[in-house]
Amino acid sequence: MKLTAVFMKVPEGYIAFVEELPGANTQGATLEEARENLKEATAMVLEANRELAEKAIAGKEVTKEPFVPSS
């Protein structure tokens, strides 16, 4: 699976987001800083979503397995 990072030049530097992952957005003074910050923001969004899912299924009978979406 490939995600799309978008970087937009603004007077303060760059803003960045991942098209396919709502909430994964950040900024940076330089393009490189924005790239690094976006990696961290993406990891944080995925972890937060994982925690929310765990709370939602707590105490329920579920099956969990690896999932690789098709490209």
33 inside domain:
yes
Residue range 1-60, pLDDT digits in tens:
889 999 999 999 999 999 999 999 999 999 999 999 999 999 999 999 999 999 999 999
15 inside domain:
no
Residue at token pair 């690094």 = 36
Q: Which two three-digit tokens encode residue 9?
A: 């030049």
Beta bridge partners of 8: 15
- Domain span at residue 42 reads 27-52
Residue range 41-58, pLDDT digits in tens:
999 999 999 999 999 999
CB 42 within 8 A of CB 21: yes
42 inside domain:
yes
For 53, which DSSP code? H
36 inside domain:
yes
The order of strands in the sheet holding 13-18 is 5-10, 13-18, 25-28
Cα–Cα distance between 71 and 64 in angstroms, integer?
21
1 inside domain:
no
43 inside domain:
yes
User: How many domains does the chain fold into?
Assistant: 1
